[in-house]
Amino acid sequence: MRLIISNSLNPYFNLAAESYLLHHCSEDVMMIWRSEKAVVCGKHQNVCAEANFKFCRENQIQIARRLSGGGTVFHDLGNINFTFIKNLKEGIEKAVNYKQFLEPVRSVLYDLDIPTTYSHRDDLLLNGLKISGNAQHIYQKGMRLLHHGTLLYSSDLKSLNTSIHSKGKYEGKSVPSNRSEVTNIIEHKNWGSVDAFLNVLKLGFEQFWGTEFRELSDTEIYEIQSIQNEKFETEKWIVGYSPKYTHTRTFSTSQGIISIEMYVVDGVIQRFEYSSDQDFEFNGLEGEELTMSNLQKAFPQLDELELLEFF
């Protein structure tokens, strides 16, 4: 097992690192990483239905999409992420087994006086409250599996709850998130700062696996940054990968109250209808990608925060 610590706090870099290690490496890997504030939705979700775009922009929270399925999660520096990547020697039919990855995590946490149990969805619970959500992705061509999860240590739970609750009505076939009551580990077992907890957690995993954490090489970082730039931080991946959906919403702006209904396929607005209690300039959106730049062209009198309501 190769143990990796990512020193980057960029959520797009770390999601790209998972992709690189899954698709371009051959060894079994465990990586620990943290990110600045971010909402990270599952591969098959409608990110607009999951993330509160306006709140996220106001609070410098990035919005991202990961490789695996499952529900939307919130990252900040009080949350520690773990990623396992494993060769599927036993075959795909035995791949979906969360406990093979979570038992080592539970063992290390137990040694840190943090006893956990499983939920019916294989989330990790502490005193009956969720501290870790997990998801998996299978790379069938390479017969490799990605499993990753969160560990809430001292996360901003207020921002977590607000940032992953969108407004408006969305109809489509995307996978919705299942909300659970969460808690921070520090409320039950205080290991000091998140850096202090991260250090004892790293030591625990080093003792468990019998090897030490190493940083990514310069060559790996270069390759990961290319994947980050080409995929994980692009609007085409984050917004455009959402399954087709219809979005209806009514909201107030500086130009009056606006009601919209749009049908979006692959990030492109196929149908757009709107009404307002005031008459103002509108330059059309049908056939355009759902991006901030296109919204600014269509509604030049609205500011950026108001335009975020369209997501």
pLDDT of residue 175: 62
Q: How many CA atoms lie within 13 A of 218 on its CB side?
A: 0
Give the DSSP letter string of 244-285.
PEEEEEEEEETTEEEEEEEEEETTEEEEEEEEESS-------
In the predicted model, what is the mean pLDDT of residues 277-284?
A: 76
pLDDT of residue 178: 64
Task: Kindly list the distances between the CA atom of residue 1 and the CA atoms of 27, 29, 85, 210, in Å, as whole numbers in the listed order.
Answer: 7, 5, 9, 9
Mean pLDDT taken over the chain:
91
Residue-wise pLDDT for 293-308, tens only, equals: 999 998 898 899 989 9
pLDDT of residue 274: 86
- Looking at residue 229, the DSSP 8-state letter turns out to be I
Domains and CATH numbers, the chain: 2-238 (3.30.930.10), 245-310 (3.30.390.50)
CB 36 within 8 A of CB 62: yes
- The larger pLDDT score, comparing residue 23 to residue 283, is at 23
SS3 182: strand
pLDDT of residue 68: 93
pLDDT-wise least confident of 6-15, 240-249, 276-285: 276-285
Question: Is the confidence at residue 59, as pLDDT, over 90?
Answer: yes
291 burial class (0-12, 13-18, 19+ CB within 10 angstroms)? middle
Q: How many CA atoms lie within 13 A of 278 on its CB side?
A: 10
Residue-wise pLDDT for 223-276, tens only, equals: 999 999 999 999 999 999 988 899 999 988 888 888 989 999 998 999 999 888
74's tokens: 């919130």
Task: Kindly list the distances between the CA atom of residue 299 and the CA atoms of 112, 287, 307, in Å, as whole numbers in the listed order.
Answer: 54, 16, 8
